[in-house]
A and B are shown apart, each in its own frame.
Chain A
Amino acid sequence: MRTLTGRLVQILLAVVLVACGGTPGEATDSSPTTAVAQRGGAAGTIRLYTSVTQDTVDAVLQGFQSSNPDVKAEVFRAPTGELNARLAAEQRSGGVKADVLWLTDPLSMYAYDEQDLLAEWTPNGAEAIPEQFRTERFWGTRILNLVIVHRQGLQPAPTGWQDLADDAYSEPVAFPDPAFAGSSFAALGYFALDEEFGFDYYRALRANGAVEVQAPDEVITGVAEGRFSAGMSLDKSVRDAAEEGAPIELVWPEPGAIALYSPIAVIRSTTNEEAAQALASFVLTEPAQAAIASTGWQPVLPGVEGPPMPTDAEQVFPDWEAAFGRQDELLSEYRSSLGD
């Protein structure tokens, strides 16, 4: 019954759309690739589901297509929430259609791993990735650093995370809401589980009048507009805005920027394992890592040159293993420590 009515609707709508000059389900033509550096053996069509920013996906795929001209990679890119909803709906109606999953942060990937969605396969060369940026079934592709951004000329400039809880910055400091995105959740994962900070840190922030905004970018906008004196955001976005002339400055904080990685994995149910593995391993090649760096992100492979960073740049890492499964608990304790 379900399929029958569905098919009926499909035919009906197809007629309407064709009558209006559209073609349902038309696919983008893969532009003929000119230079073929090294021809991979994989072929066919694969589908990549990703929440990674568009320009980075474009840059990486361009390289992949020229080295694998026989593979056509279709991309579904959406913000994390929409992507998760689509996957959840597909899981409940006929199965996941993706072959490769490339996410912004590891949190959702842990969940999909727990649901046995991911193929048990690791590409050659994965061991070159620092250990904190990979697991057995998914591995990092790029690194996002949560850093401090402050208003140009702010005196004294904050030097570490603890400074943001200081009276000197009672003109509000801003944090992205950890309940809105996994990348922001990384900060909660780090602070809450770190002995030096703990939830006391959030209580101190709230006492100091800190506010939360929906997304890391809104912190930058607010600091640039003078609404906030300082706040937490992503290094790449801060650098971009500062380069364009926004009146802000980046501080690599003490004890370190909170570093999280964007993981990629092959879906277990893929029908084109070879091509899916080709794409998933391609992001670890030097050209792909360079492409990622060219869009402003820190590559995950230590040897590849990334965007400018302080020479003694320290990084700290959330314990994803420990945080996963405790999101609810962490978020609700976070809420109560903010006094909500």
Chain B
Amino acid sequence: MRRSRGWERSGRLVVGLALALLVGYPLVRLVLAAFADGPEPVLATFERSGIARAVGNTVWTSAAVTAAAVALGTAGALTIERGAVPARRWLRAGLLLPLLVPPFVAALGWTAGYGPGGVLDDAVGVAVPQLYGPVGVITVITVNAVPLAYLIVAGALRGRAEPDLERAARVSGASVRTALWTITLPLLRPALGASAVVVFVFSVNSFGVPAVLGTPAGFETMTTVIYQNLAFAADPDAFTRVLVLAVALVLVAVGAVAVSDAVAAGGRVRRTGGPAGTTSAHVTTQGRWAAAVAWGYVGATSLVPLVALVLLALTRAVGLPPAPRYWTLQNFADAVDGRTLSSLGHSLLLAAVAATLLVCLGGLVAALERSPAARRLGTLATMTFALPGSALAVAVLLAYGSVLADTLAIILVAYLGKLWALGHRPLAAAVDRLPGDVHRAARASGAGPATTLITVVAPLLSPALAAGWVLVFLFAFHELTMSALLYGPGTATLGVAVLNLQQLGDTPATAALAILLTAGVLVGAAPLLVFRGTWSRLRRVD
């Protein structure tokens, strides 16, 4: 017993230290730098015209994105995980597709697909009128956020709202809809809260989409204002404004987390009884209809923009109709050179290491007792997730630039700080579901703490670990701003390559590189579809 205490204490020490180094210290440096010249510049920032409106725009668009993405993600999870739909696995993959596409690419795809002069406009003469402006910004961020909500809610559905609890409601006289509102959704409350936090923060710090779709309509958010100030950051006042707005962004996120935690706290319930019921595998007519609707959604939100992007990449120059006589592979050749390949290697390495480390850290948290401290950890990690990449990179440079500058390690530190929340949230939800006894049973059977972790806890958590790993990997792999700011000689990442290409102004070549990246990730993700089989087998053990 004594030894186990000691082990847990050192485990906590590692987690605490990691949190302090990856999240706490950079944040402190950021806040100190923002207040370096006293409170006047801070106050002055908010007195500037347009800032208050940008803050307002960020908050309300993020709230709208959260409502829409959580609703769609939940509907998708209920349909796919609980409903009797055909080709469940493919539908799931289709819904997760936006995860594989970096957001700025998604924005490009949407303009190419639905904008004036886009594919849809060419084909049937229809352009989505509101694409530029808040409606477009909200729509495209929502589409990119739905997979996040889906993953968290689907994970909870497997564990929390067991089919038998819904069946009990049905035989008690509740219709499908009543059972949904009185049983399924209340039981999902913690997961809905968790997904709302992740989606809200994801939306708050998204930059690529508002920059492409908001600016032409004069619609500014905090991230676009931050970027504008960055362009003038040679002026110390403008740089201070960047820091102040970044801190404000963190505060907005913390506020959202607090609200969500308060809402979710009442919904935290412990299940009783054993495993209860499995999902029906029988495909029904309603299931077919639901699947058709879901496929329609996937087609409109992922496939059309992707096809538009492919056409853009194949076309010789912007503005030419996507007809075969204008097709060329030159853009793909332009997109790839020796530098792209070496930076691809760096990005793969960084993404894999970041994902593995964060999942290990998450596993460690999981192995420790479930405590309020672990929940506070979630809140803390969310703060760095809320920082726009440029601000977090500045914070990391301030904190570690003097020793780690120009190494892959400093980019890794930034990735770990930024993406901790993504690796942590799915795990935290899963840990809640882990029966407390399994880990004690393993210890009573003679397993040491490490053996327990490897043989019992890790296998039980493997779906969540896999989800966390994949999320962190993809976000790190797609990351643009932080590495563009932090890289040094010989440590360029894919983000640097993409930004270089983008700045050359060659839109088709940028699209070509984006297509290659997406295709590469798709190929890499193929084994995951196989791994999902393990996932569904494992969820019986609960």
A and B touching (Cβ–Cβ under 8 A) = yes
Interface membership of chain A positions 196-237, coded 1 if the CB is closer than 8 angstroms to chain B and 0 otherwise: 000000000000000111101110111111110000001001
Instruction: Answer whether residue A124 sits at the interface, using C-beta atoms and an 8 A cutoff.
Output: no
| Cross-chain contact B401 with A94 (CB below 8 angstroms) | yes
Name the residue among B21, B116, B346, B488 with the largest chain A CB count within 10 angstroms: B488
Instruction: Answer whether residue A5 sits at the interface, using C-beta atoms and an 8 A cutoff.
Output: yes
A interface residues, tally (CB under 8 Å): 86
Instruction: Answer whether residue A320 sits at the interface, using C-beta atoms and an 8 A cutoff.
Output: no
A221 to B316, CA, bound (A): 13
Instruction: Answer whether residue A241 sits at the interface, using C-beta atoms and an 8 A cutoff.
Output: yes
Contact of A82 among B50, B118, B406, B481 (CB under 8 A): B481
| Cross-chain contact A20 with B320 (CB below 8 angstroms) | no
**Distance from A121 Cβ to chain B, minimum over Cβ atoms (Å):** 20
Q: Which residue of A lies closest to B210 (CB)?
A: A214
| Cross-chain contact A225 with B318 (CB below 8 angstroms) | yes
Q: Which residues of A contact B317 (CB under 8 A)?
A: 224, 241, 244-246
Q: Which residues of A contact B408 (CB under 8 A)?
A: 17, 22, 24-25
**Distance from A225 Cβ to chain B, minimum over Cβ atoms (Å):** 3
**Distance from A200 Cβ to chain B, minimum over Cβ atoms (Å):** 20
| Cross-chain contact B409 with A17 (CB below 8 angstroms) | yes
Q: Which residues of A contact B117 (CB under 8 A)?
A: 224-227
Instruction: Answer whether residue B319 sits at the interface, using C-beta atoms and an 8 A cutoff.
Output: yes
Q: Which residues of A contact B403 (CB under 8 A)?
A: 3, 6-7, 9-10
On whether A54 and B500 interact (CB within 8 A), knowing A224-B317, A226-B319, A340-B218, the answer reads yes
| Cross-chain contact B357 with A78 (CB below 8 angstroms) | no
Instruction: Answer whether residue A336 sits at the interface, using C-beta atoms and an 8 A cutoff.
Output: yes
| Cross-chain contact B397 with A79 (CB below 8 angstroms) | no
Q: Which residues of A contact B352 (CB under 8 A)?
A: 20
Identify the stretch in B56-64, B151-159, B230-238, B259-267 within 8 Å (CB) of chain A at 4 or more residues: B230-238
Which chain B residues (110-138) contact chain A, with CB distance < 8 Å? 115-118
A20 to B501, CA, bound (A): 29
A306 to B48, CA, bound (A): 43
A210 to B303, CA, bound (A): 32
Instruction: Answer whether residue A338 sits at the interface, using C-beta atoms and an 8 A cutoff.
Output: yes
Which chain B residues (302-321) contact chain A, with CB distance < 8 Å? 316-320
Q: Which residues of B contact A180 (CB under 8 A)?
A: 215, 227-228, 231
| Cross-chain contact B320 with A327 (CB below 8 angstroms) | no
Instruction: Answer whether residue A38 sits at the interface, using C-beta atoms and an 8 A cutoff.
Output: no
Instruction: Answer whether residue A26 sits at the interface, using C-beta atoms and an 8 A cutoff.
Output: yes
| Cross-chain contact A327 with B488 (CB below 8 angstroms) | no
Instruction: Answer whether residue B400 sits at the interface, using C-beta atoms and an 8 A cutoff.
Output: yes
Which chain A residues (75-134) contact chain B, with CB distance < 8 Å? 75-82, 84-90, 92-94, 97, 107-109, 111-112, 115
| Cross-chain contact B504 with A84 (CB below 8 angstroms) | no
Name the residue among B318, B349, B500 with the largest chain A CB count within 10 angstroms: B318
**Distance from B51 Cβ to chain A, minimum over Cβ atoms (Å):** 11
Q: Which residues of A contact B227 (CB under 8 A)?
A: 81, 180
Contact of B485 among A82, A240, A328 (CB under 8 A): A82
A233 to B260, CA, bound (A): 45
Contact of B353 among A16, A216, A327 (CB under 8 A): A16
Interface membership of chain B positions 390-426, coded 1 if the CB is closer than 8 angstroms to chain A and 0 otherwise: 1001100111111111111100110000000000000
| Cross-chain contact A55 with B504 (CB below 8 angstroms) | yes
| Cross-chain contact A53 with B231 (CB below 8 angstroms) | no
**Distance from B163 Cβ to chain A, minimum over Cβ atoms (Å):** 42
A105 to B290, CA, bound (A): 55
Contact of B319 among A111, A237, A248 (CB under 8 A): A248
Instruction: Answer whether residue B197 sits at the interface, using C-beta atoms and an 8 A cutoff.
Output: no
| Cross-chain contact B231 with A80 (CB below 8 angstroms) | yes
Q: Which residue of B lies closest to A13 (CB)?
A: B409
Instruction: Answer whether residue B487 sits at the interface, using C-beta atoms and an 8 A cutoff.
Output: yes
Q: Which residue of B lies closest to A11 (CB)?
A: B409
Contact of A338 among B218, B326, B400, B401 (CB under 8 A): B218
Q: Which residues of B contact A211 (CB under 8 A)?
A: 216-218
Q: Which residues of B contact A82 (CB under 8 A)?
A: 230, 390, 393, 481, 484-485, 499
On whether A25 and B507 interact (CB within 8 A), knowing A9-B413, A97-B405, the answer reads no
| Cross-chain contact A25 with B490 (CB below 8 angstroms) | yes
Q: Which residue of B lies closest to A110 (CB)?
A: B234
| Cross-chain contact B349 with A212 (CB below 8 angstroms) | no
A77 to B357, CA, bound (A): 29
Q: Which residues of B contact A227 (CB under 8 A)?
A: 115-117
Instruction: Give chain B's interface residue range (CB within 8 Å of chain A).
Output: 35 or more
**Distance from A212 Cβ to chain B, minimum over Cβ atoms (Å):** 7
Which chain B residues (454-491) contact chain A, with CB distance < 8 Å? 481, 484-491
| Cross-chain contact B484 with A78 (CB below 8 angstroms) | yes
Q: Which residues of B contact A17 (CB under 8 A)?
A: 349, 353, 408-409, 412
Contact of B218 among A84, A212, A240 (CB under 8 A): A212
Q: Which residues of B contact A237 (CB under 8 A)?
A: 505
| Cross-chain contact B230 with A16 (CB below 8 angstroms) | no
Q: Which residue of B lies closest to A338 (CB)?
A: B218
Contact of A225 among B319, B485, B489, B491 (CB under 8 A): B319
| Cross-chain contact A84 with B505 (CB below 8 angstroms) | no
Instruction: Answer whether residue B211 sits at the interface, using C-beta atoms and an 8 A cutoff.
Output: yes
On whether A220 and B393 interact (CB within 8 A), knowing A14-B409, A28-B490, A240-B505, the answer reads no
| Cross-chain contact A53 with B504 (CB below 8 angstroms) | yes
A67 to B167, CA, bound (A): 80
| Cross-chain contact B485 with A78 (CB below 8 angstroms) | yes
A27 to B406, CA, bound (A): 9
A71 to B6, CA, bound (A): 55
| Cross-chain contact A92 with B398 (CB below 8 angstroms) | yes
Contact of A13 among B48, B326, B412 (CB under 8 A): B412
| Cross-chain contact A225 with B115 (CB below 8 angstroms) | yes
A217 to B232, CA, bound (A): 20
Instruction: Answer whether residue B535 sits at the interface, using C-beta atoms and an 8 A cutoff.
Output: no
Q: Which residues of B contact A212 (CB under 8 A)?
A: 215-216, 218
| Cross-chain contact B25 with A54 (CB below 8 angstroms) | no
A97 to B397, CA, bound (A): 12
Instruction: Answer whether residue A182 sits at the interface, using C-beta atoms and an 8 A cutoff.
Output: yes
| Cross-chain contact A213 with B234 (CB below 8 angstroms) | no
Instruction: Answer whether residue B503 sits at the interface, using C-beta atoms and an 8 A cutoff.
Output: yes
| Cross-chain contact B239 with A84 (CB below 8 angstroms) | yes
A282 to B349, CA, bound (A): 37
A174 to B116, CA, bound (A): 14
On whether A6 and B404 interact (CB within 8 A), knowing A21-B349, A74-B489, A225-B118, the answer reads yes
Instruction: Answer whether residue A335 sits at the interface, using C-beta atoms and an 8 A cutoff.
Output: yes
On whether A247 and B394 interact (CB within 8 A), knowing A20-B353, A86-B485, A220-B505, the answer reads no
Contact of B320 among A214, A216, A247, A335 (CB under 8 A): A247
Instruction: Answer whether residue A181 sits at the interface, using C-beta atoms and an 8 A cutoff.
Output: yes
A82 to B506, CA, bound (A): 20
Q: Which residues of A contact B404 (CB under 8 A)?
A: 6, 9-10, 13
A259 to B197, CA, bound (A): 48
| Cross-chain contact A93 with B401 (CB below 8 angstroms) | yes
Q: Which residues of B contact A182 (CB under 8 A)?
A: 231-232
Q: Which residue of A lies closest to B239 (CB)?
A: A88
**Distance from B77 Cβ to chain A, minimum over Cβ atoms (Å):** 34
**Distance from B191 Cβ to chain A, minimum over Cβ atoms (Å):** 32
| Cross-chain contact A85 with B239 (CB below 8 angstroms) | yes
A–B pairs, 26, beta carbons within 8 Å: A10-B404, A17-B349, A20-B352, A25-B490, A54-B500, A74-B488, A76-B487, A81-B233, A85-B239, A85-B390, A86-B486, A107-B232, A107-B234, A111-B235, A180-B228, A211-B217, A221-B318, A224-B318, A225-B117, A225-B318, A234-B505, A241-B318, A244-B317, A245-B320, A246-B317, A246-B320
Q: A76-B488, A92-B36, A245-B326 are in contact. List 4 more A-B contacts (CB 8 A).
A: A6-B402, A6-B404, A74-B489, A327-B232
Q: Which 4 A-B pairs have the closest CB atoms?
A: A224-B319, A225-B117, A81-B230, A111-B234
